[in-house]
Amino acid sequence: MMCMYVDDILIFGSNLNIIEEVKKLLSSNFNLKDLGEPDVIINIKLIEEGDGGVTLLQSHYVDKVLSRFGFSDCDPAPTPYDPSMLLRKNRRIARDQLTYS
């Protein structure tokens, strides 16, 4: 799978040989620089989990924006989150977009 944003490309998959083949094909047609495994892409921090999963974080970006506008020392505000609510997987039930938004 390839994710592209302007001049950045993130290539990932389950087969390292295929990833290398794709990089080789692209580099034969374009001037590429391989930066290795990503740490941050489009201001989203990627943290690799031990079970093969990936966690996506933007807290560093929020800190950067707060700092830029002089709000680094502000107190966090509570969010309307009910921790007793159980989240479940989307069952692809159609929703009326106007009502939902």
For residue 76, what pLDDT band results from cuts at 50, 70 and 90?
confident
pLDDT tens digits, one per residue of 1-17:
898 888 888 898 889 99
Averaged pLDDT score across all residues of the chain: 86
pTM of the model: 0.52
Sequence ranges of the domains in the chain: 1-36, 37-73
Q: How far apart are the first and last CA of the chain?
A: 31
